[in-house]
């Protein structure tokens, strides 16, 4: 993330990098290096046009062809060498790209391939829970069609590499619920959202990964996951309809399994792009120039929790001390008092616009909202940082949300909600950062990062474009953050073969979904001017209907957090 609160919002640069010789960049070692640039970036376009290079084609920005062309070449993304022993850096076989889908709960999703023959799933990525599960031999699951998306269902009987996990297995936590040691191990995971859970049996099968180096070697990793026979609550309505990929610290999570098998280092990184796209890499330990703070480990329920020692808003600093969970499965940030009040009041004191007074037709879930005139083209919100243990400051590039309350009238709000006890740093506070979850050193690392740049970007980094990408409209309901309340496990290598619903189809469908559900600002002068203005091209200017927003945040109220075993 950039420090500037009103920095430029970048062009949507998707899943392809081109090693373009746009000029040498100084590397950290002796000699010259060349920077990677996105194939369809303005920088490369300008370079080609000035040289009248024939046969160069750029699909129209925002068109389905644009996304499909980039996604098809996702694996051309640079590889990175592992900093130390412990295996290669790995990512999903269909690419390391992630995408935030507002129409599916504002969570980040990735495409994964499971089983033999492989079946592809669009799974939500969640650092706040541990178990990876997919819909399986369903008794109660989300619909298999969502707009242009057609979801697969896993079945152990249709995979030649699937194995049951028995109640005698050390991963089976609900052995007391088993009729016998040779029975399949049941599981149930409950989440913070009311009446939201997944239950079924544990199985083992192949998760297809690939090395992030020049060889792009396919790795067939046997992993444990949940065969989700019954889903309830939010999983039936809007979020994670095709599975949830738990990235937590328990032994059953995929990062833990990959590390225990010696396939990667016990660390991974996620990049949260300003344009809604990102990256995930297993075994990645970050870089020497990243900021870091220690993880605070609770043995009863280990999570990515950090200590915050203060909040900086503009030129004001308060010594507010609290701990917070870093959770990619939560869209917005939740803070309890006194942290919430200190942040909100400091923000309010430094905002230029008039405080919005709610009326009967617009009841907001956010407490601090401000009026914007139809002709306004800039928002200059104060810069926000969170001071962490060790002195490093976590920059917050995406603290606001723009809400359209009616035609020609919009407001913006501080996108932080007040909780009754649990503090969660959600996705909106991670935007623009590459976040490293180093479970070996027990540190959280972060760095301002363009998710499409090479590690040593020199001074030829791809600059933010003047083009914005409107976020997709939100669904009529919304899921509570995926953070786990209580997790109890209760109720020969082959080549990757394409499934009936291949990942290429799924990728194209996702792109169509994003395009077709993007807001159309007909007659909305405020939205158009905001999108044109260089001063307001910033990370994630989310616009949404106020009725929907109120509905989903009402559903996502924080309940008392209960750790495992509570």
Catalytic residues: 126, 327
Q: Rounded to whole angstroms, how far apart are CA atoms 461 and 532? A: 22
Other CB atoms closer than 10 Å to residue 59's CB: what's the count? 14
Q: Rounded to whole angstroms, how far apart are CA atoms 326 and 126? A: 10
Q: Quote the distance between the C-alpha of residue 67 and its chain's center.
A: 18
Q: Rounded to whole angstroms, how far apart are CA atoms 117 and 158? A: 8
Other CB atoms closer than 10 Å to residue 120's CB: what's the count? 27
Report which DSSP code applies to 501.
Answer: S
Longest dimension (CA), the chain: 73
Sheet holding 369-372, edge to edge: 369-372, 409-414, 400-406, 543-545
Name the CA radius of gyration of the chain, rounded.
23
| Orientation angle between helical segments 503-516 and 64-72, nearest 10 degrees | 150
| Start-to-end CA span in the chain (Å) | 37
Q: Rounded to whole angstroms, how far apart are CA atoms 240 and 252? A: 19
Q: Rounded to whole angstroms, how far apart are CA atoms 195 and 438? A: 32
Q: Check: CB of residue 128 under 8 Å from CB of residue 482.
A: yes
CA-wise closest residue to 109 among 122, 94, 121, 90: 122
Q: Rounded to whole angstroms, how far apart are CA atoms 23 and 157? A: 55
Tokens of 504: 């290429």
Query: Phi-psi region for residue 99, left (φ > 0), alpha (ψ -120 to 50) or beta?
Result: beta
CA distances from 432 to 2, 5, 147, 531 (A): 7, 12, 29, 19
CA distances from 281 to 159, 175, 380 (A): 26, 34, 34
Q: Rounded to whole angstroms, how far apart are CA atoms 123 and 197? A: 15
Q: Rounded to whole angstroms, how far apart are CA atoms 7 and 537? A: 7
Q: Check: CB of residue 421 under 8 Å from CB of residue 337.
A: no
């Amino acid at each position: 993330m950039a420090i500037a609160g009103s920095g430029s919002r970048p062009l949507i640069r998707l899943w392809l990098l081109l090693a373009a010789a746009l000029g040498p960049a100084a590397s950290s070692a002796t000699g010259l290096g060349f920077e990677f640039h996105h194939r369809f970036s303005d920088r490369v376009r300008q370079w080609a046009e000035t040289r009248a290079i024939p046969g160069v084609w750029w699909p129209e920005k925002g068109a389905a062809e644009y996304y499909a062309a980039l996604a098809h070449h996702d694996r051309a993304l640079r590889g990175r060498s592992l900093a130390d022993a412990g295996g290669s850096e790995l990512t999903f076989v269909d690419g390391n790209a992630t995408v935030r889908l507002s129409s599916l709960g504002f969570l980040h999703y990735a495409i994964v391939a499971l089983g033999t023959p492989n079946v592809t799933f669009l799974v939500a990525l969640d650092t706040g829970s541990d178990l990876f599960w997919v819909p399986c031999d369903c008794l109660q699951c989300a619909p298999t069609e969502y707009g242009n998306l057609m979801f697969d269902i896993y079945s152990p009987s249709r995979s030649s590499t699937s194995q049951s996990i028995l109640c005698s297995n050390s991963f089976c936590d609900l052995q007391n619920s088993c009729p016998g040691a040779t029975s399949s191990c049941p599981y149930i995971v409950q989440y913070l959202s009311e009446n939201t859970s997944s239950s079924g049996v544990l199985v083992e099968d192949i998760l297809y990964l690939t090395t992030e180096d020049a060889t792009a070697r396919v790795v067939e990793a046997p992993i444990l996951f949940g065969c989700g026979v019954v889903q309830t609550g939010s999983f039936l309505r809007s979020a994670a309809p095709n599975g949830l990929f738990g990235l937590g610290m328990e032994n059953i999570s995929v990062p833990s399994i990959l590390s225990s098998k010696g396939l990667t280092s016990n660390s991974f990184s996620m990049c949260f792009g300003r344009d809604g796209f990102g990256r995930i890499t297993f075994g990645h330990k970050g870089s020497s120039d990243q900021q870091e703070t220690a993880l605070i480990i609770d043995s009863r329920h280990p999570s990515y929790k950090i200590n915050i020692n203060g909040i900086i808003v503009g030129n004001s600093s308060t010594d507010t001390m609290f701990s917070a969970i870093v959770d990619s499965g939560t869209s917005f940030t939740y803070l309890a008092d006194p942290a919430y009040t200190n942040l909100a009041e400091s923000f309010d004191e430094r905002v230029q616009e008039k405080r919005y007074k709610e009326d009967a037709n617009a009841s907001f879930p956010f407490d601090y909202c401000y009026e914007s005139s139809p002709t306004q083209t800039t928002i200059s919100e104060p810069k926000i940082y969170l001071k962490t243990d060790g002195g490093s400051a976590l920059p917050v590039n995406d603290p606001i949300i723009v809400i359209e309350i009616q035609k020609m009238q919009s407001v913006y709000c501080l996108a932080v909600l007040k909780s009754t006890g649990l503090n969660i740093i959600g996705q909106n506070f991670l935007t623009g950062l590459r976040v490293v979850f180093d479970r070996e050193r027990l540190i959280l690392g972060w760095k301002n990062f363009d998710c499409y740049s090479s590690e040593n970007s020199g001074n030829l980094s791809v600059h933010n474009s003047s083009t914005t990408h409107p976020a997709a409209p939100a669904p009529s309901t919304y899921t509570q953050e995926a953070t786990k309340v209580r997790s109890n496990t209760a109720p020969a290598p082959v080549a990757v073969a394409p499934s009936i619903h291949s990942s290429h189809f799924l990728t194209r469908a996702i792109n169509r979904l994003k395009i077709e559900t993007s807001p159309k600002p007909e007659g909305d002068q405020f939205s158009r001017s905001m999108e044109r203005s260089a001063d307001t091209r910033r990370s994630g200017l989310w616009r949404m209907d106020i009725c929907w927003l109120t509905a989903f945040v009402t559903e996502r109220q924080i309940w008392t957090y209960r750790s495992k075993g509570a």
